[in-house]
Amino acid sequence: MGVKIDAHSKELTTANVDRLLANSAAIVDTFDNSLGRQALKDYSTSAGIPCLHVGLAADYSEIIWNEHYRVPSPANDRVCDYPLARNLVFLRVAVAGEVIVGFVATKEQQNLTCTIGDFAVRPLIRDLGLKSRTSRTALC
């Protein structure tokens, strides 16, 4: 598929996001804080770069492309300060990997939710601009 991954281990801010992500064809957001997520959302929107946001909280996760993504409130950034369940992390990574491969191969942008209680993976459904039907706590 000719895909090159360029990972950065640096603090991302609104001041350096354009430099760190210059020449990107797509972005995958796995931040655990609202400031980083907002910087990626804003940059990918202004630069026209597809951005997949992958977040989780307790027993729930979302894999959502930028167009449908809402950045969680900074008040809930501390929600990730707990030991994460490995099974939800593995499920989220596997599903996000499938979404990324599908995007690279076909340019299709799937928006999905995952729940650990039933190991369900479902399409994200928005209720005509109202709160998300799948909305729960802030995602990390």
Domain ranges of the chain: 25-123
Helix (H) or strand (E) holding 35: helix 34-47
- What lies within 8 Å, CB to CB, of 71 at 6+ separation is 34, 37, 38, 41
The fold of 25-123 is: Rossmann fold (3.40.50)
Q: What percent of the chain has pLDDT over 90?
A: 43
pLDDT given for residue 25 in this prediction:
92
* pLDDT for res 3: 79
- Res 69: pLDDT: 93
Q: What is the pLDDT of residues 8-33, one digit of tens each?
A: 788 889 999 999 998 899 999 988 88
Kindly report, residue by residue over 36-77, the tens digit of the pLDDT: 999 999 999 999 999 999 988 667 889 999 999 999 877 666
Q: What is the pLDDT of residue 7?
A: 81
Stronger pLDDT, 85 or 25, i.e. the higher one: 25
